[in-house]
A and B are shown apart, each in its own frame.
Chain A
Amino acid sequence: MPETHFTKDHEYARIEGDIAVIGISDYAQSQLGDVVYVELPEVGRRLAMGEDAAVVESVKAASDVYAPISGEVVEANGALADNPAAVNQAAESGGWFFKIRIADRSELDQLMGADAYKSYTEGL
């Protein structure tokens, strides 16, 4: 099982060695509805935990996506430009947003594990 952490704002960070794969949770995509546009950070940008990092737009509204932890952007999911619906179809796999090189692992302690996040969304 990959190690995945979630924020209260519904971003996830899936840990792959030194890299964290960032996206929005399946719960978040179901709440947003049809995603029609995603704006991603540039490679090389240094993000601080909680900073505005990306934007996801549904038919109705634009939402900010925050960096769940600090780090430098090493890759953005270019496939989302042509197929933003991938966020709806596979939010926590193929619909990832960007990858960062983890700056400070201790920040992960402030996030929720998968089970804690599941209980959190059930209470919303």
Chain B
Amino acid sequence: MINTILTIATVLIFISFILSGYRFFKGPDTANRTVTFDVMTISSIGLIALIAHFANRIIYLDIAIVYGLLSFMAVIIIAKYLEKELF
């Protein structure tokens, strides 16, 4: 019962990846692509937690924490690069 519901949730998250992937490839400029990248990484934190449930391993949550930290850094660095403050 629980695993069925969680499998549906995983499939829905994959559908959201496909929808944002459309915007990622079509997005007219870098800023649009970065917004999509941000949304995709934040949703993949949820996906990693779901994978941790299916594999029954708490250690995967540490990966989710580090992944979230790296995506936050990446968005800020891209934003600074767009503002031309990195040179």
Query: Is this pair of chains taken from one and the same complex?
Result: no
